[in-house]
Structure 1
Amino acid sequence: MDDLPLILKNYEHARELMAANGNPTQWGHTFPREEVVRDDIANQRTILLVDTRDGKERVLAQFALCAGADPTYAHIDGAWLDDDPYVTIHRIASSGIARGTASDCINWCVEHYGNVRADTHPNNKAMQHVLESNGFARCGLIQLLDRPTDTTRIAYQRHEW
């Protein structure tokens, strides 16, 4: 919880970056809400990518790592690579102080869990590029269950056999 202010600042930075790059609606002005971030931390879903510079620890990026079946992924217009157990990467955001941090986070997940799913907005070209350049297969389209509009997301999976 000590890192909450910095985590919220990183999400604000990510929202601004997405909006500036043609993706203003995926997270809008308020996603993820503070209570979602607090819940991620309390339930040990928040993973921080850190390094040390000049003896001080820096948070470079963060994401939520969710184990178990994601209800949003139950229906896909397309096909998952398999039905094996998986983890899902959600809410990835960089602090902006280092390059390549999204790839570092994603590759850590693959290295530690093997079967990883993620999704992103059709306008989020940067995340599509990161996922595809890190070996994720575009599996189809899913629909978010927690909102009435702007629900379509591109679904990805990478499974290290």
Structure 2
Amino acid sequence: MSDFPRMQQIYAHAREMMARNGNPTQWGSTFPREEVVLDDIACGRTMLLVDDEGGEHGGEERILAQFALCTGADPTYATIDGAWLDDSPYVTIHRIAASGVARHAARDCIRWALEQYGNVRADTHPNNKAMQHVLETSGFARCGLIQLIDRPTDTTRIAYQRHEW
């Protein structure tokens, strides 16, 4: 919980970057809502990529990126216009955001998830060209389109999967 205020700042930074880069609607001005982030923390889904900027000289730990790692079947992924690579158990990366203080932080988060779990799914907005690039250059296959089930509008997302066989 001590990282929560900084996490909120990072999500605000991510929303600003998305809007500046032609993707103003994916997260709008309020996503992820505070209660979602608190629930991620309470349920142990929050993953932080950190470093120690001061090294051996007593520097403070910095959050480079954060995401929610969700285990089990994601109900949003039950229906896809396309096809998943397979139906074996997977984890899902949601709500990934980089703080902007280190290059390739989102890619490092994705690499860690692949190393730990092997079968990873994710999705992103059609206007989120940056995340599409990160996923595709990280070896993810574009599997099709899914529809978010937790909102009434702007629901189409591009679905990705990478399975380390």
What is the TM-score with the length of structure 1 in the denominator? 0.99
Distance 2:98 2:86 in 1: 30
* Percentage of identical aligned residues: 78
Matches within 5 A, 1:1-161: 1-54=1-54, 55-161=59-165
Using the TM superposition, give the Cα deviation of residue 110 of structure 1 relative to its aligned residue in structure 2, in angstroms: 0.3
Distance 2:96 2:115 in 1: 17
CA RMSD of aligned residues (A): 0.4
**Structure 2 unpaired stretches of 5+:** none
Is the partner of 2:110 in helix, strand or coil?
A: helix
Given residue 88 of structure 1, which amino acid in structure 2 is its aligned partner? T
Distance 2:4 2:144 in 1: 34
Using the TM superposition, give the Cα deviation of residue 6 of structure 1 relative to its aligned residue in structure 2, in angstroms: 0.3
Given residue 43 of structure 1, which amino acid in structure 2 is its aligned partner? C
**Structure 1 unpaired stretches of 5+:** none
Using the TM superposition, give the Cα deviation of residue 56 of structure 1 relative to its aligned residue in structure 2, in angstroms: 1.6
Using the TM superposition, give the Cα deviation of residue 53 of structure 1 relative to its aligned residue in structure 2, in angstroms: 1.1
Distance 1:56 1:71 in 2: 39
1:33-53 CA-to-partner distances (Å, cap 9, x unmatched) read 000000000000000000001
Is the partner of 1:142 in helix, strand or coil?
A: strand
Distance 2:81 2:89 in 1: 20
